[in-house]
């Protein structure tokens, strides 16, 4: 890490020396200009939101501050001093921490070992003090109101639990500047509230926070000021008093965006397309039964760890220990086989796109065609021309921002990676599509487009299972909603009888549903 003395001529904002100042920051990845001459300052102790469409450069700018990326040009100042970070360790030594959108852990180490990684307590200067390490881990998780067995390995946690552990790890470094990159993307409402309470305590202690999010209500609630990036360039900064959702969105995309609100179906759903009976998996979920009809969107809500994603994985044949029955159009599937599920017209957009939905080293075109190789091949030879033609068509339909279909998906933003996952399943002739957190990490414009797409697919006769931690998303799209709690279906709510209060009651097991919601069954 290299530093220079405080520059008396350093740019100030409103009379203060910024805690963080970006001065003409630029960064290019191959043919993609991720950041282009970005300049603005962040006040000491403020929560400063950073918003923009997918690919606008938000995460890249956060990673420049965290020492993960070195800018191609420009100057980074922290506390008025010019900083050159050669590694994340340099940034950490300067008091900077980051909660990443894309999670990175040592999956075979315990929760406690990951939380204290690189900072293990010692006995006699050389021996690991495991008891102290586990107690420190419990205290860090306790700050977030999280009760986890810190001795279990990370690979056994859900994505939401991983997110909470990563947040605790970043806060536990004692950093005075924290970057939160989509920290609530896989958290339930209750877990998000615990995070917001922690952020309030951090603000009171003088910690500067940069909050990257697509969720406008969170941005408007938490931030003191809001800076907008568009196509890698700085588009401006608003105070909370100046900001409205419409104004922010127009700065992000250069136009107004109407949220997609599907109308109720004009006709009743068709025949039962998929029926699940008595599905159970030891330690995950028990006796789960439901059905989905053609043209119907069935939502599935629940707190993180309730078993939502695990049920979808079992239906898709990814859980060899699962017992029960899955039928598609009356045909009983052989359990434990994803190939069998796909041959019978089931598709799954998984919760974790990087580990389960994509091959990061491969191009957009190659990822797109993975699930339709049987259709694109003849006598063992792949029709490359047809593959390219279909990939270009579907990626354009979902407005994927990539230099070409040959671009490796690893170089795309998180939201554009999610679109590639969606595109590959649209290429396959499906009867049932299960979408798990389909708009996680997706900007407001793309979210509206994906909502419209999901609704359109249902109107075309597809049976859709929608799993989401965003209750407004579930309420807006679903014709009825299944609520899971502790591995069981705790209730079913009709579209007409649903609201967030009722769903939260069923999810948390608190009290009974309000009498006005006659569509609820618990």
Higher pLDDT among residues 278 and 154, named by residue: 278
- Grade residue 5 by pLDDT with cuts at 50, 70 and 90: very low
Q: What is the mean pLDDT of residues 349-376?
A: 87
The number of helices, as runs of H, and strands, as runs of E, in the chain is 17, 26
Instruction: Give the position of tokens 């190789």.
Output: 373
Contact, 318 vs 329, CB < 8 A? no
The tens digit of pLDDT for each residue in 377-436 reads: 888 888 899 889 988 888 888 778 888 889 899 888 777 888 888 888 888 889 999 999
Residue-level pLDDT at 478: 92
Residue-level pLDDT at 462: 94
Contact, 233 vs 27, CB < 8 A? no
Strand order from edge to edge, sheet including 233-239 = 96-99, 177-181, 208-212, 47-51, 225-230, 233-239
**Which DSSP string do the residues of 173-186 spell out, in sequence order?**
TT-SEEEEESTTTT
- Grade residue 513 by pLDDT with cuts at 50, 70 and 90: very low
Residue-level pLDDT at 340: 92
Higher pLDDT among residues 94 and 168, named by residue: 94
Whether residue 6 is predicted with pLDDT greater than 60 in this model: the reply is no
Dihedral over Cα of 198, 199, 200, 202: its sign = positive
Whether residue 211 is predicted with pLDDT greater than 80 in this model: the reply is yes
CA–CA separation, 254 vs 86, rounded Å?
35
Q: Is 293 helix (H, G, I), strand (E, B) or coil?
A: strand
Residue whose C-alpha is closest to residue 54's, from 444, 449, 393, 436: 444
CA–CA separation, 192 vs 88, rounded Å?
26
Mean pLDDT lowest among 141-155, 285-299, 425-439: 141-155
> In sequence order, what are the beta bridge partners of 377?
382
Distances, alpha carbon 367 to alpha carbons 164, 363, 399, 520, in Å: 30, 6, 16, 41
Alpha helix locations (H) across 78-215? Answer: 88-93, 111-115, 130-143, 159-171, 189-204
Q: Is 393 helix (H, G, I), strand (E, B) or coil?
A: helix
Residue-level pLDDT at 262: 64
Whether residue 279 is predicted with pLDDT greater than 90 in this model: the reply is yes
- Grade residue 261 by pLDDT with cuts at 50, 70 and 90: low
Whether residue 14 is predicted with pLDDT greater than 70 in this model: the reply is no
Whether residue 510 is predicted with pLDDT greater than 80 in this model: the reply is no
Residue-level pLDDT at 276: 96
Residue-level pLDDT at 225: 95
- Grade residue 155 by pLDDT with cuts at 50, 70 and 90: confident
The tens digit of pLDDT for each residue in 90-121 reads: 998 999 988 887 666 788 888 888 888 777 78
CA–CA separation, 424 vs 422, rounded Å?
6
Residue-level pLDDT at 179: 92
Beta-strand ranges (E) seen in 329-418 are 331-332, 346-349, 377-378, 381-382
Residue-level pLDDT at 515: 40
Residue-level pLDDT at 323: 94
Whether residue 144 is predicted with pLDDT greater than 80 in this model: the reply is no
Mean pLDDT of the chain: 84
CA–CA separation, 114 vs 166, rounded Å?
9
Q: What's the Rg (C-alpha) of the chain? A: 24
What are the structure tokens assigned to 141, written together? Answer: 């998780």
Contact, 196 vs 222, CB < 8 A? yes
Residue-level pLDDT at 15: 57
Higher pLDDT among residues 14 and 25, named by residue: 25
The tens digit of pLDDT for each residue in 217-256 reads: 899 999 999 999 988 899 999 999 999 888 888 888 765 5
CA–CA separation, 61 vs 265, rounded Å?
43
Give the side-chain half-sphere CA count within 13 A for 163.
23
The tens digit of pLDDT for each residue in 313-349 reads: 999 999 989 999 999 999 999 877 888 999 999 999 9
CA–CA separation, 468 vs 195, rounded Å?
19
Dihedral over Cα of 158, 159, 162, 164: its sign = negative
> Could you tell me what percent of the chain has a pLDDT over 70?
90
- Grade residue 259 by pLDDT with cuts at 50, 70 and 90: low
Whether residue 152 is predicted with pLDDT greater than 50 in this model: the reply is yes
Residue-level pLDDT at 256: 54
Contact, 425 vs 397, CB < 8 A? no
CA–CA separation, 173 vs 253, rounded Å?
36
- SS3 for 431-498 is CEEEEECCCCCCCHHHHHHHHHHHHHHHHCCCEEEEECCCHHHHHHHCCEEEEEECCEEEEEEECCCC
Whether residue 55 is predicted with pLDDT greater than 90 in this model: the reply is no
Return the exposure string of 444-464: e unless at least 16 CB atoms fall within 10 Å of the residue's CB, then b. Answer: bbbbbbbbebbbebbeeebbb
Q: The pTM is what?
A: 0.63
Distances, alpha carbon 81 to alpha carbons 7, 48, 68, 283, 354, in Å: 7, 20, 19, 52, 36
CA–CA separation, 495 vs 478, rounded Å?
7
Q: Is 226 helix (H, G, I), strand (E, B) or coil?
A: strand
Q: Is 101 helix (H, G, I), strand (E, B) or coil?
A: coil
Residue-level pLDDT at 403: 85
């Amino acid at each position: 890490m290299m530093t220079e003395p405080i520059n008396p001529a350093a740019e100030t904002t409103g009379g203060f020396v910024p805690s963080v100042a970006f001065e003409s920051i630029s960064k290019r990845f191959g043919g993609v200009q991720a950041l282009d001459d970005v300049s603005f300052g962040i006040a000491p102790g403020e929560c400063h939101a950073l918003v923009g469409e997918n690919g606008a450069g938000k995460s890249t700018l956060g990673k420049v501050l965290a020492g993960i990326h070195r800018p191609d040009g420009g100057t980074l100042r922290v506390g008025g001093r010019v900083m050159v970070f050669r590694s994340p360790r340099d940034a950490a030594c300067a008091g900077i921490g980051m909660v990443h959108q894309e999670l990175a852990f040592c999956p075979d180490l315990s929760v406690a070992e990951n939380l204290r990684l690189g900072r293990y307590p010692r006995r006699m200067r050389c021996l690991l003090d495991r008891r102290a390490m586990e107690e420190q881990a419990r205290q860090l998780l306790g700050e977030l109101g999280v009760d986890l067995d810190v001795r279990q390995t990370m690979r056994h946690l859900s994505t939401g639990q991983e997110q909470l552990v990563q947040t605790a790890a970043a806060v536990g470094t004692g950093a005075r500047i924290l970057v939160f990159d989509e920290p609530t993307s896989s958290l339930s409402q209750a877990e998000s509230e615990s995070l917001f309470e922690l952020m309030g305590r951090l603000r009171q202690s003088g910690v500067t926070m940069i909050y990257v999010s697509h969720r406008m209500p969170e941005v408007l609630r938490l931030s003191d000021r809001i800076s907008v990036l568009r196509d890698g360039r700085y588009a401006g900064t608003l105070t909370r008093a100046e900001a409205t959702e419409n104004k922010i969105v127009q700065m992000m995309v250069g136009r107004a965006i109407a949220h997609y609100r599907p109308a109720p179906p004009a006709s009743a759903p068709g025949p039962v397309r998929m029926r699940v009976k008595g599905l159970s998996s030891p330690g995950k979920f028990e006796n789960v039964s439901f059905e989905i009809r053609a043209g119907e969107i069935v939502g599935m809500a629940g707190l993180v760890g309730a078993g939502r994603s695990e049920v979808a994985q079992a239906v898709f044949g990814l859980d060899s220990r699962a017992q029960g029955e899955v039928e598609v159009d009356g045909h009983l599937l052989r359990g434990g086989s994803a190939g069998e599920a796909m041959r019978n017209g089931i598709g799954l957009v998984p919760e974790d796109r990087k580990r389960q939905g994509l091959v990061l080293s491969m191009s957009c075109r190659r990822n797109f065609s993975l699930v339709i190789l049987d259709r694109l091949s003849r006598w063992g030879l792949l029709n490359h021309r047809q593959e390219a033609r279909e990939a270009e068509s579907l990626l354009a339909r979902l407005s994927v921002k990539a230099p070409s279909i040959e671009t490796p998906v690893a170089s795309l933003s998180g939201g554009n990676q999610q679109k590639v996952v969606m595109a590959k399943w649209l290429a396959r002739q499906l009867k049932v599509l299960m979408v798990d957190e389909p708009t996680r990490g997706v900007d407001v414009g793309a979210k509206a487009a994906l909502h419209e797409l999901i609704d359109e697919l249902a109107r075309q006769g597809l049976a859709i299972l929608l799993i989401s931690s965003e209750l407004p998303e579930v309420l807006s799209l679903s014709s009825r909603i299944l609520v899971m709690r502790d591995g069981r279906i705790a209730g079913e709510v009709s579209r007409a009888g649903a609201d967030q209060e009722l769903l939260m009651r069923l999810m948390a097991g608190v009290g009974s549903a309000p009498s006005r919601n006659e569509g609820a069954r618990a």
